[in-house]
Amino acid sequence: MLDLSNNSLSGPIPPDLAKLSNLEELRLSSNMLTGTIPYHLANCTKLLVLDISQNLLSGSIPEEIVRMEMLRYLFLSGNKLTGLIPDSFTASQNLLELQLGNNMLEEAIPYSLGNLQYISLALNLSRNRLTSEIPASLGNLDKLQSLDLSFNFLSGFIPSELNNMASLSFVNVSSNHLSGVLPASWAKFVATLPNSFLQNPALCIKSDVFTFCKQEKDHKGNKTKFLIIFTVILVLLLLVAGLCAASYHRMRFHHWSESSVALNRHVDFVDLPKDLTYECIMHATEELSEKYLIGKGKYGTVYKAQIDNGLGKLCYAVKKIDLSEPSFSQERKVLAILRHRNLVRMAGYGITDGFGMIIYEYMQGGTLFEVLHQRKPRVPLNWELRHRIALGIAQGLSYLHHDCVSQVIHRDIKSSNILMDSELEPKIGDFGMAKIVDNSSSDTSWTPSSIVGTLGYIAPENGNSIKLTEKSDVYSYGVVILELLCRRMSVDPSFEDGVDIVTWVNANLKKVEQFNILQLLDKEISYWMEIERSNALKLLELAMSCTQQSSSARPTMRKVVANLVKLRC
């Protein structure tokens, strides 16, 4: 096995890797590899796992790679691959999982995918530019558990042959142009995976939960149907009004706590881990009791849920958000497209009366703000740790700005939104104010009705820009790095009124000599080795370049990552 994942490697994949004839696993994911996929890798005839996902690879997928018979896991997602998916899959192949999502692959889904008789784990073709109809041959994949064709340009009917996919436990065909009737065996997913069929206006969905079928224009009996529908809606409105009145009278006599949620209340969760249920969450948090509260933000409160699944204890962070706030749908929308080790992972979400819940992986290390400013005794941070934190945050932001299929601007980067695992590896969280940039449309939502962000982290242009850019995130990142180096808050109590950390550092840099700059930094840094102190000063210089007044003068996050990689001791 050769595993070089998560190492910030750049440049092309060396063709000489093909000389490793006995290699069984090649893992190069989450780097910055460029160029095309070498077809010579097919010479590694014993290869079982090929994972080159989350890079910057371009060009087409070599047919030689697709035809490898011993290969069981092929992960090419999260690159910039173009062209057609090779129509070269055969029944003799041993593929168990095929991940091609988050690329720019075009035209039709190859019919030969239906030949993969052993594929059982996942087939992911989401977030590409695939067109035409879903091939009926996919119905042959009766062992497949997960099928994701979402966010493409697929059209036509969903073939009835897909009823034969008896092992499916997850399916997503949302955001296409599908029409006709949903396969009968897929109706069960309407309740458990309601988002999996959205954004297909002409798709007829019939299930025990609800039925939605778009009406044909100029159809006979439309007038009668309209009257029936109008009558039903009127009756429903009267019933709702009656229920609201009854609820109002009950609330006059009974105090209802906002955090108290009845266990029998219906909630639909999406893509939760098998061992996690709504009842488990409510039981683990004693119905979202204050004693499990671990954080509060602008748009929600976060609780810790510890679940015992019989094999051990699992921890999740449960964020409760008022549904009247747009942040709930926005955060779900953003998190659904993100896959990076330095971004917090969403495990699922739920909706109930008046509020929504987003379930995250629980981060044992708390937040960077807590690590820097609140922990007692003080957490020692050597150069290696500070560099790892700075690089991890930068890699997460670089992914958002440059490597997502759609660019994402976070708009609220701050130390309290940087979550830390037990090894102090950072992950960016709280995407409630994030924006997905759609360059293909005129998005008027970019005109800010109010300044977004947090005091001390807000870029100067945020107060008057018509359209915010990713450079506002770069500024906020620079502030976080100044916090990391100086161990002072963005608006520290030791500063004069109206002074933030950027102003404070700039003012003091003009006063001190070069050899005294270390006095601005955390005292711990003065005890480091000379090369580490030198690197700390270079990191300070990088932070200052990120916080320049002019947004155009700031580096991109990709450039920041490249500079940080050079600073490794």
Give the separation between CA 349 and CA 340, rounded to whole angstroms: 19
DSSP string, 419-452: EE-TT--EEE---TT-EE--TTS--GGGS-SS--
CA Rg value for the chain: 26
Give the separation between CA 553 and CA 546, rounded to whole angstroms: 8
What number of other Cβ atoms are within 10 A of residue 500's Cβ? 19
Flag whether 523 is marked binding. Answer: no
Return the SS3 of 487: coil
Tokens 């009766």 belong to residue: 142
Q: Which amino acid makes up residue 11?
A: G
**Is residue 377 reached through a cis peptide bond, with omega within 30 degrees of 0 on the bond before it?**
yes
Three-point CA angle 308, 425, 331, nearest 5°: 70
Give the separation between CA 345 and CA 349, rounded to whole angstroms: 12
Give the separation between CA 183 and CA 122, rounded to whole angstroms: 19
Task: Let me know how many helices (H) and strands (E) the chain has, helices first.
Answer: 11, 28
For 150-239, where are the E strands, in sequence order?
Answer: 155-157, 170-172, 177-181, 202-206, 211-212
Q: Are 417 and 367 in contact (CB under 8 A)?
A: yes
Around 410, how many Cα atoms within 13 Å sit in the side-chain half-sphere? 34
Rounded to an integer, what is the distance from CA 411 to the centroid of its chain? 15
Catalytic residue among 412, 430, 473, 522: 412
For 152-309, where are the E strands, in sequence order?
Answer: 155-157, 170-172, 177-181, 202-206, 211-212, 268-270, 293-296, 300-308
| Of 139, 144, 143, 91, nearest in space to 115 by CA | 91
In eight-state DSSP terms, residue 455 is T
Q: List Cβ neighbours of 217 (8 Å cut-off, separation of 6 or more).
A: none
Element (H, E) at 397: helix 383-398
Instruction: Kindly give the residue spans of alpha helices, DSSP state H, lying in 5-128.
Output: 63-66
412 carries an active-site annotation: yes
Residues marked as binding? 320
Q: Which residues are catalytic?
A: 412
Residues marked as binding for ATP? 320
